[in-house]
Structure 1
């Protein structure tokens, strides 16, 4: 079995893996022997403070052909449409929706194709988030990127990502996600037009949400998160470019060898992927519409208990069986910011207008909810057990931060008619008839 198809399974486990071409590359006993096998160098990648509590401590030991410090000085390069300047565009509390973002007209790779839509906070103080699109059509070739500002949660929407990391390889397809954590070098190969979403968190790392009364099982299962096994290449090149995202800017250094020269590693600070179809949906089987927090796959907590810097939430195919209930999402104003994307299919609350590869943003306390068609249909539908969201996967990046839109987000593919989907909602109130309802009003049309 090829290395890109073999995975270690788990979420918070301690992993130990070596490329079979170098048996015994992993040391026995102490982490850092005086002399590593095969003449390798030991290097630790720390994702948390050295003194973090044991259950929160994240670090991995890499046994590599050359230490990662072997490169020329970093020089600032063009960052394109990547930005963490949240003060360029005037604040706008309105509901926003974007049509599918266009694929690039010229050749550009993953690093060149990063475009920031919105965000809040500051990577220098390690508090905040950014939401990006990636729009690319060519492989990175002899180039890699790593992020000093935060973690990338990557959601492909069109095209497969063939990702090489220092810990091994991952292929990530639409309806899968992957997380590349702070400091991990990775290369992305693509075959033609490729598009997707990125949630970047500056504050901490993603983790599974607490299950509370749900119990031991449900939502995303830890054993379904997949981590690559060790794979290395001992390859010298005339120039390999290492790109660093730092303080919201891009910098490049060069070196004469591949950075993916790690025959063995062990630790718990790793890249990982997850197939969204493995999510175990929890839902109401009696009445009422449960809050969307029951669909949380991963969360990045804030310092305030129960409040997230960012949640990654999905709305997968599921059964709807509630009685005496308006089943679609309820009309809502929220103290959180809600950014939604669509991987494929039609979102049940807005079957028209919200399209795969597009997005919407409902900012803090800005009202939103089903459009007219969804409201009237759901208000009169027979309340029998039915499958909803079949052939659909939508998701939400939800944050306790109040996000600002970038110039690119403000001027690219914006649906200026989005507000009109709610304008036809009409008054059904009749003070003389307690039983007046939508069906009566529709009959009188």
Structure 2
């Protein structure tokens, strides 16, 4: 295994070669008649060939054997991974899940793929328009197995480190970090005990940094803090067969080959996997009065064809200072044309310190009202407004989408983690209206 080093940047052109094979990256052209070391050249395209140069995504891989050498794909059991959004009747209620159960390794061995469970989503991969939100709960590393996801996937580990081996190299991803595996990239996941996290799949758009507009040149997630892996290869034959799992049109298929797919000796391009540490996010916040919209906390966005409307935004609520005067500082009561799925990596979310727990989630669907619970409202309405730290030791996040989300049967019934009493956190809200109130004279 190579030393874990990274090249930094976002959306730029990178190149890397395994130091065991110096000069393995061809110079001056992408596809020479004979590649150094007798390697095969293979292009991985993440966009149409004719896309404008700024949006054209592709990388060249120089590998020991090309990925085309494999047996035919055959259908395999999908478990609780689905793209069927009509399993149960629609449910517009506020939904909250308690922390999702991680299986004990002594009872059942579960790796990343078999531990994927679809919670909600919309659209479909055939038209490449939609999203899926999944939980992963696993306890075992993938052995001689890898997976390729046609959608773009953003993973948020919540418990346990995950070592992701990709065709581009290795990435160790810890809780409070995220990683993005681009469409079509093969990867395998090693774990080191009971592991849990969230996955956002976007079926038809790249994740990118949001435009900053009046914020200017700096702020939010900085490009240089996104990290891509260094080339690392293994030249390994697998006599018993190496399984490549392909998620295609919402179903799983597997094929066999006799060699490791992680045989890329060198690569270059701008279409790579990457990771990001959420501690590096530069928070923009209100310093006068009122409560800024949560869009100021957007890390990555996957744009739709409508300007300003995202297929999915990845938003975080990091530690920060609260200083707004004459203001109810927690999130305001709200109905939104977007769907909002929230997860908690660690700590206590300010608007609901009880009930919303790390490893669980909430879904507030299109135009479903939500906001602080009674305790938060009463406490914040009478609080002395002085500068204070907000969300210390906490990291909550949100997958926000323009799609109206359907919840799966697993999410509503099978997982048995749905908190059916969630609505009760707002029941104690009482009326404060006083028709005789008059503003005080100065």
- Report the TM range for the smaller structure's normalisation: over 0.9
Residues 274-309 of structure 1: CA distance to partner in whole angstroms, max 9, x if unpaired? Answer: 000000000000001000000000000000000000
Residue 69 (structure 2) aligns with? 70
User: Equivalent residues in 2 for 1:269-280 (5 A)?
Assistant: 269-280=271-282
Residue 309 (structure 1) aligns with? 311
User: Equivalent residues in 2 for 1:313-392 (5 A)?
Assistant: 313-392=315-394
Residue 214 (structure 2) aligns with? 213
Verify: 1:426 aligned to 2:427, yes or no: no
Residues 191-230 of structure 1: CA distance to partner in whole angstroms, max 9, x if unpaired? Answer: 1110000000001110000000000000000000000010
TM-score scaled to structure 1, two decimals? 0.97
Q: Distance in 2 between matches of 1:395 and 1:3?
A: 33
User: Equivalent residues in 2 for 1:101-112 (5 A)?
Assistant: 101-105=100-104, 106-112=108-114
Aligned-pair CA distance for 1:433: 1.7
Where 2:287 maps in the other structure, the secondary structure is: coil
Residue 36 (structure 1) aligns with? 35
Q: Distance in 2 between matches of 1:23 and 1:416?
A: 59
The match for 1:407 among 388, 406, 409 is 409
The match for 2:115 among 77, 102, 113 is 113
Give the conservation status (yes or no) of the 8 Å contact 1:207–1:298: yes
Residue 245 (structure 1) aligns with? 247
193-202 or 3-12: bigger deviation: 3-12
Q: Distance in 2 between matches of 1:33 and 1:204?
A: 32
Residue 128 (structure 1) aligns with? 130
TM-score scaled to structure 2, two decimals? 0.97
Structure 1: which 4+ aligned runs deviate by more than 4 Å? none
Give the conservation status (yes or no) of the 8 Å contact 1:4–1:170: no
Where 1:378 maps in the other structure, the secondary structure is: helix
Aligned-pair CA distance for 1:359: 0.2
User: Equivalent residues in 2 for 1:119-268 (5 A)?
Assistant: 119-148=121-150, 150-238=151-239, 239-268=241-270
Gap change, CA 1:416 and 1:423, over 3 Å in 2: same
Where 1:263 maps in the other structure, the secondary structure is: strand
Where 2:54 maps in the other structure, the secondary structure is: coil
Q: Distance in 2 between matches of 1:330 and 1:423?
A: 17
Where 1:104 maps in the other structure, the secondary structure is: coil
- The number of residues matched between the two structures is 434
Give the conservation status (yes or no) of the 8 Å contact 1:337–1:398: yes
Give the conservation status (yes or no) of the 8 Å contact 1:320–1:386: yes
Residue 52 (structure 1) aligns with? 51
Q: Distance in 1 between matches of 2:273 and 2:27?
A: 24
Aligned-pair CA distance for 1:47: 0.2
Unaligned stretches of 5+ residues in structure 2? none
Give the conservation status (yes or no) of the 8 Å contact 1:17–1:265: yes
Q: Distance in 2 between matches of 1:321 and 1:430?
A: 29
Residues 164-197 of structure 1: CA distance to partner in whole angstroms, max 9, x if unpaired? Answer: 0000000000000000010000010001110000
Q: Distance in 1 between matches of 2:391 and 2:3?
A: 31
